[in-house]
Structure 1
Amino acid sequence: MKNVKKITRALTFILLLSTGFLFAQDRAINANQLPRTAKNFIAGNFKGIAVGSVIEDREIYGVDEYKVYLSNGTKIEFDSKGNWKEVDGKHQKLPYGFIPAGIRNYVAKSFPNTYVIKIEKERWSYKAELSNGVDLKFDKDGNFNRIDD
């Protein structure tokens, strides 16, 4: 009897896990299907750079995020509402228009011959990677916190 219960529990767990994977899927979409906020972000900051592909990351409860790959190699992650979460230039200089002024100013003053190649917006902070390999942490207002290891 104990073995039957264990087997039933194991099968139920496997069934629930596999059902979650069926509903949580990535799928390719057209760039026109992105939220307006994301489309405006791309048009305003990456003018003249074509969108190569867009992946919609769906979870059981709906869209979790969008991953946009530009023709120049840049990868942009957006949340479900189209707000940017991460921009990775793949070692290329990122446009500064969307980067908070505090971060731009700190980088220009403290690391004059470098530029931001990747930036991540976290809940309470920002993380920026510079062209020289240095990772910097900033608070939500763009004030420098520390060099990140």
Structure 2
Amino acid sequence: MFLFAGGLISAQDRAISPNQLPKTAKTFLYAHFKGIPVSSAVEDREIYGVDEYKVYLNNGMKMEFDSNGNWKEVDGKHQKLPYGFIPVSIRNYATRNFPNTYIVKVEKKRWAYKAELSNGLELEFDKNGNFKKIDD
């Protein structure tokens, strides 16, 4: 009988204590989301080790961190994000060009940033925070 061992190489999510997050992620949470309790933290493991961490806050916000604890995505779930960690050029562009909106989600990719506004527009920026296009 042949058994397929595919289960051994699949990703595994594991609930962890917020204290088990990398120091960088804990510092980020303390600096920008102080006073908002973490409802859950998840470690996403791949065969080579930790791939990323997902953190859910009591107010519904969700964030993803890389294996070193650097933020990759912060999703306010339609709530205004604190702007302290968002590059200044992105904050300024959004405030100047869309004055009656606010940033509700931001993603940091390898070569770009994406910022979603409260009106549903998605703005794309290069890795230096220079505006590239609107992606609605």
TM-score range, shorter chain: over 0.9
- Once residues 47 and 18 of structure 1 are traced to their aligned partners in structure 2, the CA distance between those partners, rounded to angstroms, is 39
Asked whether 1:17 is paired with 2:6, we answer: yes
* Offset, 1:20: 1.2
Match of 2:4, SS? helix
1:86-101 counterparts in 2 under 5 A?
A: 86-101=73-88
Q: TM-score, normalised by structure 2?
A: 0.96
1:1-149 counterparts in 2 under 5 A?
A: 11=2, 15-21=4-10, 24-149=11-136
Match of 1:99, SS? coil
* Offset, 1:16: 4.0
- Once residues 64 and 108 of structure 1 are traced to their aligned partners in structure 2, the CA distance between those partners, rounded to angstroms, is 34
Q: Note the aligned Cα RMSD (angstroms).
A: 1.3
- Once residues 54 and 122 of structure 2 are traced to their aligned partners in structure 1, the CA distance between those partners, rounded to angstroms, is 22
How many residues are aligned here? 136
Amino acid at match of 1:116: I
Match of 1:15, SS? coil
Gaps of 5+ in 1: 1-7
- Once residues 98 and 83 of structure 1 are traced to their aligned partners in structure 2, the CA distance between those partners, rounded to angstroms, is 11
Match of 2:35, SS? coil
% identity of equivalent residues = 68
Larger radius of gyration: 1
- Once residues 8 and 66 of structure 2 are traced to their aligned partners in structure 1, the CA distance between those partners, rounded to angstroms, is 24
Amino acid at match of 1:42: L
